[in-house]
Amino acid sequence: MAKDYASELKGKNIAINAFDTGWIKTEMGDEEASSEPETVIPRMIIGAILKNKSCFILKIM
C-alpha cells in the first residue's frame, strides 16, 4: 500500500513511510511485548525526517 501511495504522490514532495513496529508494550500489546513506545517512536520520527530517498531499515536494539 505504501508503494502505491508513493507512486501516486511522486513529484509532489510528500514522503510516505510504512513501519512494522513489532510488539509494543501498550494496553493492547500487554507487558510481555518486546518494545517500549519510547524506543519505537523516535525511530519512526527519524525515518520520517530523513531525506534519504532509498529504502532502508533502521533497527536499534
Find the domain containing 25 and state its range: 2-49
Number of domains in the chain: 1
Q: Considering the domain boundaries, does residue 11 fall inside one?
A: yes
pLDDT tops 70 at residue 54: no
pLDDT band at 52 (very low <50, low <70, confident <90, very high): low
Q: What's the confidence (pLDDT) of residue 60? A: 45
- For 14-44, the pLDDT digits (tens) are 777 777 788 888 888 888 888 888 888 887 7
| Secondary element (H or E) of residue 49 | helix 37-49
Separation of alpha carbons 10 and 4, rounded Å:
10
> Poorest-confidence range of 12-16, 41-45, 51-55?
51-55
Residue 12 has pLDDT above 80, yes or no: yes
